[in-house]
Every structure is written in structure tokens, then in C-alpha cells.
Amino acid sequence: MVEQHIASAFDRDLEAIQAQIMKMGGLVEAAIVASARALETRDEELAQQVRLGDRAIDGLEELINEESARVIATRAPAAVDLRVVLSVMKIAGNLERIGDYSKNIAKRTGVLIQWNDSTDSSAALRRMAREVELMLKDALDAYIQRDVELAADVITRDREVDQMYNALFREILTHMMEDPRNITACMHLHFIAKNIERMGDHVTSIAEELIYLVTGNRPEDERPKADTTSTATGEH
């Protein structure tokens, strides 16, 4: 009876933590959408909302980490149960980073409003952000449902995001070469595109974490990457 009580208490703790992960994931999804919309429409007020909203995302990560540490200390989970708690902490860390990238996009939107650039990359950036948002939704669904196949699909789709980034990079580079007056705005647009590409990497990490949680093994195949600009941009 005592063991059953301890097990049920652990399950309740875990359910509460995973509910916080889903809440955090919802806030991050909304931040991706809002930051892309603010960029496309040059909406400074919406961009400001994204910047301020990042505090709630950071707060949830802190709460999740504190609750996870408490569960480890008080429940002493072993084997699979411990892996579940640790996966929650890693997913929270990835979500926090995605939130930071959304905030960074919102910050650069404020700067771009001051520039009358002749580039037209905002719609493409929005499409790219939309794909990452859909990937994140599926990654979180995969986590809740313990769906390895869906998680693997998310990992594969990151290649599409990389390809979209490569195309945008070439487009932005062309604008810079055609008119030096575009350089400052284009540099900001490039960093925004890179932020979105990095979001995709963190979503992929969430999907990989689910596969490890369910199978006990990391994905065997090397993560597919199609970002061919790293050498040119100095990114590592």
C-alpha cells in the first residue's frame, strides 16, 4: 500500500510538471506566431508584447526545473521514471531558447521599423516561422502521446526549414549586393532568419528527447542538416 501511495504521488507530481510543459509550449508557439506577424506588419506594439511575454516563459522554465529537482529529491525516481523527469527539464530548456529567439526577432523588428528597406523577405520569414511552429506543435503532441513516429517526422522536417533558410540567405545576399543601402536592414533580416533556423534545431532536440524517452536510445541516424551557409556566415 505504501509503495502504491508513493507511486501515485509521483504520478501526480509528474502530471503537474508535464502540464506546465504544455503551458510553456503554448506560450512559445504563440511567441513564434506573434514575432513573425510583428515582423511582417512592422507592428512595434505586438513586438513589444513578445518581448515582455518572454518573462512568463522564463518563469515557467524556472518553475519546471524547481519542481523537477524537488521530485528527484523527494521521490527518488529510478530508471524510466528518472528519465521522464530529466526529459522534462531538457524540453523546458529547449522551449526557453526558442522563446529567446522569438524575443530576439521582436527586438530586431523594432530596429527594422526605422529602415525603409527595399527587400521583401518578411513573408518568406513568416512561412519559415510557421513551419517551425507546426513542428513544435507536433513535437509536443508526440511527447504527450509518446509517439516516436511523429517525433521522427518532426526531425525529418527540420531539413525543410534549413532549405528555406538557405534560399532566404541567398535572397538577402543578393539584395545587399544590388544596393549597399540595403546592407543594414539585410543584416537584421539575416539574423532573424538564422534565429528561426535555430528554433528548428531546438524543436528537433525536443523530438529527439521523446525518442530517447520511449526507446532508451538516441536516434541512430545523424540529424539531417541542410544549412549550407555556416561557413559563409561564420556560424558554428
Residues 17-30 have pLDDT tens digits of: 999 999 999 999 99
pLDDT tier for residue 227 given thresholds of 50, 70 and 90: low
Is residue 228 within 8 A of residue 166, CB to CB? The reply is yes
Rounded Cα distance, 106 and 101, in Å: 9
Interior/surface letters 153-185, b for 16+ CB within 10 angstroms, e for the rest? ebbebbbbbbebbbebbebbeebbeeeeebeeb
Rounded Cα distance, 214 and 175, in Å: 46
With pLDDT > 70 as the criterion, what percentage of the chain qualifies? 87
Cα 115 from chain centroid (whole Å): 28
The phi, psi pair for 165, rounded to 5°, reads -65, -45
Beta carbons within 10 angstroms of residue 230's beta carbon: 11
Residue 187 corresponds to which amino acid? M
What is the average per-residue pLDDT within 117-130? 81
Please give the pLDDT value at position 228.
Answer: 58
Per-residue pLDDT tens digits for 24-61: 999 999 999 999 999 988 899 999 999 999 999 999 99
**Predicted confidence (pLDDT) at residue 5 exceeds the cutoff of 50:** no
Please give the pLDDT value at position 152.
Answer: 96
**Predicted confidence (pLDDT) at residue 119 exceeds the cutoff of 70:** no
**Predicted confidence (pLDDT) at residue 4 exceeds the cutoff of 90:** no
CA separation (Å) from 105 to 81, 95, 187?
A: 37, 16, 12
Per-residue pLDDT tens digits for 74-113: 888 888 888 899 999 999 999 999 999 999 999 998 888 8
Rounded Cα distance, 105 and 108, in Å: 5
Is residue 157 within 8 A of residue 128, CB to CB? The reply is no
Please give the pLDDT value at position 225.
Answer: 58
User: Average pLDDT over the chain, rounded to whole?
Assistant: 88
Beta carbons within 10 angstroms of residue 8's beta carbon: 10
Going by C-alpha positions, the residue among 225, 196, 27, 68 that lies closest to residue 121 is 196
The phi, psi pair for 223, rounded to 5°, reads -55, 125
124 contact partners, CB below 8 Å, separation of at least 6: 164, 167, 168, 171
63 contact partners, CB below 8 Å, separation of at least 6: 20
Interior/surface letters 104-125, b for 16+ CB within 10 angstroms, e for the rest? bbbbbbeebeebebebebbebb
Between 181 and 208, whose confidence is greater?
208
What is the average per-residue pLDDT within 209-221? 85
52 contact partners, CB below 8 Å, separation of at least 6: none
Per-residue pLDDT tens digits for 142-197: 999 999 999 999 999 999 999 999 999 999 999 889 888 888 889 999 999 999 99
